[in-house]
Homo-oligomer: A and B are copies of this chain.
Amino acid sequence: MGVPGAEENSSGLIPLALECWSPNRTEFARTNLFFVEVKMKIDVFPHIFPRPFYERMLTVSDAAARYMKRRVRDLPMLVDLEKRLRLMDQFPGYQQVLTAAGPGIETFCDPKISPELARIANDGMAELVAQHPDRFLGFAASLPMNNMDACLPEVDRAIQKLGAQGVQIFTNVNGRPLDEVEFRPLFEKMARYDLPIWLHPARPSTFPDYMTEKHSRFELWWVFGWPYESSVAMARLVFTGIFDEFPNLKIITHHLGAMIPYFEGRIGPGLDQLGSRTPEAE
């Protein structure tokens, strides 16, 4: 793929070579060129490791460093800006709102170090947005969720000083649900800013698929576990009443809302009929 000779023209169409692919191709035969209608596409949930963040991350723990290096080896554009820009070039009209790649800082950082890591991530994303405003329209700030005393001021700094469009959190905080009272001030603050919370799934392979095991196998913690996590986190926020408390709270969930759109018929009619079967923990 690639966009050889791509140039905007007055019609808002960009000429592309024959072999270029676009899901929205509008074809006009003209010598050897086709025309592709450029649609604006804003990707609000791509992931990145700003380089200073990545480098600091590698020093935090050996286990984290091994995991991160393996991820970046498979997906070099997470760190390599040139590779990222060349990949983006293949999709005319495509722009990104940046979010730091998972896992959450709190999963590999001590509460003493996590605030520093969040600041480095946020400074790094803000710098990328300043340098490439045509590519990166903004960012959602990373947060040190294992240190709420540092987390809340970092939200203010990221939004007020760095221009963050919102914040990113994960579906659990080291295994804890987001509806725990300790995290409530974050939701309150974001509702007050009227800016969204990006919600990314998180589940480690140590969350087993079977109660008699200690480890998920065959990457199933990720394949099915992440959509499950997102769905459960969404349901828990709803059923614990957070939208009643903060009606203008906005949450952007990853992966098209995970299981929710596909299982609407199970959620709605199912809970209407059978929703009282579970005894709450005694």
Interface residues of A (CB under 8 A from B): 70-71, 74, 172, 175-177, 205, 207, 209-225, 227-228, 231-232, 235-236, 239, 255, 259, 262-263, 266-267, 270-271, 273-275, 277-281
Contacts and interface: CB of A to CB of B under 8 A. Distances in A.
B275 A219 contact: yes
A232 to B, nearest CB: 5
Contacts of A235: 218, 220, 223-224
Nearest to A282: B215
A210 B278 contact: no
B270 A210 contact: no
Contact of A210 (B74, B172, B212, B281): B172
Contact of A223 (B216, B217, B227, B267): B267
Given A216-B278, A227-B259, 14 more contacts: A71-B277, A172-B211, A176-B210, A176-B212, A177-B213, A205-B278, A213-B281, A219-B278, A220-B232, A223-B263, A223-B266, A223-B267, A224-B231, A224-B235
A176 to B, nearest CB: 5
A74 to B, nearest CB: 7
A15 to B, nearest CB: 30
Contact of A218 (B71, B175, B218, B239): B239
A111 to B, nearest CB: 16
A202 to B, nearest CB: 11
Given A176-B212, A217-B278, A236-B217, A223 B74 contact: no
14 contacts: A70-B277, A172-B211, A175-B210, A177-B213, A214-B281, A215-B280, A219-B271, A219-B275, A221-B278, A222-B270, A222-B278, A227-B266, A228-B228, A255-B266
A175 B211 contact: yes
Given A176-B210, A220-B232, A205 B263 contact: no
A209 B236 contact: yes
Contacts of A278: 205, 216-219, 221-222
Contacts of A221: 278
B207 A211 contact: yes
Contacts of A213: 177, 281
A210 B177 contact: yes
B224 A228 contact: yes
A208 to B, nearest CB: 9
A152 B55 CA distance: 58
A275 B205 CA distance: 12
Nearest to A235: B220
